[in-house]
Copies of this chain bind each other. A is one copy, B any other.
Amino acid sequence: MKKRQYSCGLDAAVDVVGGKWKALLLWELHHGPRRFGELRRRVAGISEKMLIQQLREMEKAGLVDRKVHEQVPPKVVYSLTSFGDSLNTALIPLGEWGEVHMETIEAIPRD
């Protein structure tokens, strides 16, 4: 979330789903509601700080729903809203493209 004025829909969408973790979290939540600790374990390499940061941003954006179960130890469950689900649906072709061309993408030189 950096801009206010977008030049096209794609611009806006990439702004919402951009960054290192949001796409992965969307994908993981697509499989079903998840607790904080579950997400931390299933999304490889994410730190707790990044996880909570991304979740908060996605909550603000209306993509995910955060439900607190008042109990000890605490239990918080995150799930996709219908808005988040619609974004996920729109991302499916892109995900398939990525899978098909995975080897090509991995072979891109980076310097």
Contacts and interface: CB of A to CB of B under 8 A. Distances in A.
A60 B91 CA distance: 24
B6 A102 contact: yes
Contacts of A62: 104, 108
Interface residues on A, range: 35 or more
B9 A24 contact: no
Tell me how many chains of this kind the complex includes: 2
Given A2-B20, A12-B106, 20 more contacts: A8-B24, A10-B24, A10-B26, A10-B27, A10-B95, A11-B23, A12-B98, A12-B101, A14-B98, A16-B108, A18-B18, A18-B19, A60-B108, A61-B105, A61-B108, A62-B108, A83-B101, A83-B104, A92-B93, A93-B93
